[in-house]
Structure 1
């Protein structure tokens, strides 16, 4: 049995995050604070001695990944399959504007129904493109290797849901990730397990009956 690990790391802060504006696949850069968040988190994640880094090809994830590249000497592989959900006419709108203009659609999405937000992608379609990218790179890891995936909140949630084998309607139960926080999946005897979620400090070992 292998003991591989996947660290799914959300990008740093952007101006649209501060404005509560839906980004989706819009290519928004990090703020100065976002760069600092990435720099701090990279120093922590480097201590996990990752074997590989993959990242979405958008500016905010490229810049986040660059901070980890700088301290590890690894070169990130960028893949458009790790981009955030395309959300059509929702993109660029604030949270309040989405509620006002697409209230029924928003409510259905929060209930876990399959919804093309703004005419965009279904969450399952995001998982269909992102999860295989992650697994293809996991397959290249050594037996106890660690892969860092630099991506986006929605894409990370759907990827975790898919890798854990959860029903799509329950993926919303995985809470959101704060800027530059991460989740950790570990490979166990029965597949992938969620070891850490929305973490901003290094993972601690589980000491007890469920380790």
Structure 2
């Protein structure tokens, strides 16, 4: 998976399970810890990702991502660089509420968000603002990779989706079409002559080589 053809790759890895995930409670920038299951998910995923031979790890500074990244650092010996630019979307008054509570209190706002309209959820950040802070950081880190290198970005579902959308050059209303990431699953971007390309999405096992006409 590391670029035997000399291309760089980015693995965008979502954190493990938290209690708020189980409760369908909107986390945003609230600093919620992993559950025991989340830690086990991180250990399993880290063993898989380590076999790809990553060259660098960058990570959100919230505990659920810090503890997830620590499992990969432990098996690779790599240092982790933390940056608040990789935090989840700040969602103001939505944070701490379940999705049912959000729909009851902010129904029109919630529906507009799901339609892909620019919405400051709970008075928080726009998705484009999240991409503005996260995507450039990921690009700068990728530029430092050696030829054929692999960067692991440990972040949050919403931030990963907006970052992928921005790096692929997709219009922001279509970012929701990428779908969410399960806990401790990842997506993979690869360099191509036309820019970044989505190679894997919401994966939980090692990617297989693409064999065929679309390589």
TM-score bracket for this pair, using the shorter chain length: over 0.9
Equivalent of 1:108 in 112, 129, 132: 112
Contact 1:112 1:169 in 2 (8 A): yes
Supply the distance in 2 between the matched residues of 1:165 and 1:41 (Cα, whole angstroms): 28
Gaps of 5+ in 2: none
Gaps of 5+ in 1: none
CA root-mean-square deviation: 0.8
Which residue in the other structure is 1:166 paired with?
170
Equivalence map 1:172-183=2 (5 Å): 172-183=176-187
Query: Comparing 82-91 with 135-144, which one deviates more in the overlay?
Result: 135-144
TM-score (norm 1): 0.99
Supply the distance in 1 between the matched residues of 2:194 and 2:6 (Cα, whole angstroms): 11
- Residue 160 of structure 2 aligns to a residue in which SS? helix
Supply the distance in 2 between the matched residues of 1:60 and 1:68 (Cα, whole angstroms): 13
Which residue in the other structure is 1:66 paired with?
70
Question: What is the CA deviation profile of residues 176-210 of structure 1, one whole-angstrom value per residue up to 9, with x for unaligned ones?
Answer: 00000000000001100000000000011111110
Report deviation, 1:2: 5.1
Equivalence map 1:73-152=2 (5 Å): 73-152=77-156
Stretches (4+) displaced over 3 A: none
Aligned length: 211
Supply the distance in 1 between the matched residues of 2:149 and 2:38 (Cα, whole angstroms): 28
Question: What is the CA deviation profile of residues 164-187 of structure 1, one whole-angstrom value per residue up to 9, with x for unaligned ones?
Answer: 000000000001000000000000
Contact 1:84 1:155 in 2 (8 A): yes
